[in-house]
Every structure is written in C-alpha cells, then in structure tokens.
Amino acid sequence: EVFKALNKTRGLYLRWREIGDTSAAESEWTTTELRNSVSVQQRMLQGQDEQLDVISDSIGTLKTVSRQIGIELDEQAVMLDDFGNEMETTESKIDSTMKKVAKVLHMNNDNRQWMAIIVLSILLLLKSA
C-alpha cells in the first residue's frame, strides 16, 4: 500500500510538472492531491511504526521467557543429576544389605540367624527413619 501511494504521488508530481501553465484550479487540485497522498503515506508509516513497536515488545517478552526457561532447565538438570547420584548410592546400599541378608540366611545356627535378622531389621529401620 505504501508503494501504491508512493507511485500515485510520483504520478501526480509528474503531472503537476507537465502542466506548468495550466489553470489555477487544476494546479490547486493537483497540489491538494499531492498533499493528500503525502498524508496517506505518513499515516501508513505511522501505523507500521506502531506495529513494529508491538512486535518489538513481543520479541522482548519472548526473549525474557526463553531465558527463564533456560535457567529452569539448567536447574532441573542439576536436580536430575543429584537424584541419579542418590539412586546409585541407595542401590549400592540395598545390594550390600541384600548380600548381608543372604549371608545370614546361610548361617547354620538358628539363634544366631534370628539375632542377625533382628539386628539388621533394627538397623534398617533406624536408617530409613
């Protein structure tokens, strides 16, 4: 639309230059048309500037949101790493406890076996609390 208005203005200007010695009414009409075309162009440019301002604000908001998302992702990656390390530690403790329980189950003496089970159960309860 800006290009249409610009071309119209150029055409009117060329016509105005060609007329030169025409009547005052035609010169006034051409001058008025030129002014109107310039006004239309100015309004269109102002509208485009306003739209660009809105787009600029939206881009700024998106930039802020994307930074916050990046920070959140970094924090969650650290938390997941910590959680993975805790899982590995817990898994090794469970494996160790299971080996001890298996060793106790293979004991020959029933009293020693029950005593070991009770002690290990108490220790397990104390650790989990």
pLDDT tens digit string along 85-98? 999 999 999 999 88
Q: What is the pLDDT of residue 57?
A: 94
| pTM of the full structure | 0.47
Enter the tokens of residue 104.
Answer: 């106790």
Enter the tokens of residue 64.
Answer: 């802020």
Enter the tokens of residue 37.
Answer: 């075309």
Q: What is the pLDDT of residue 22?
A: 60
C-alpha dihedral, 60 to 66 to 71 to 74, nearest 10°: -160
Cα separation, 24 vs 38, in Å, equals 21
Q: What is the pLDDT of residue 79?
A: 96
pLDDT tens, residue by residue, 13-65? 777 666 665 667 777 777 788 788 888 888 988 999 999 999 999 999 999 99
Range list of H helices, the chain: 2-19, 24-105, 110-128
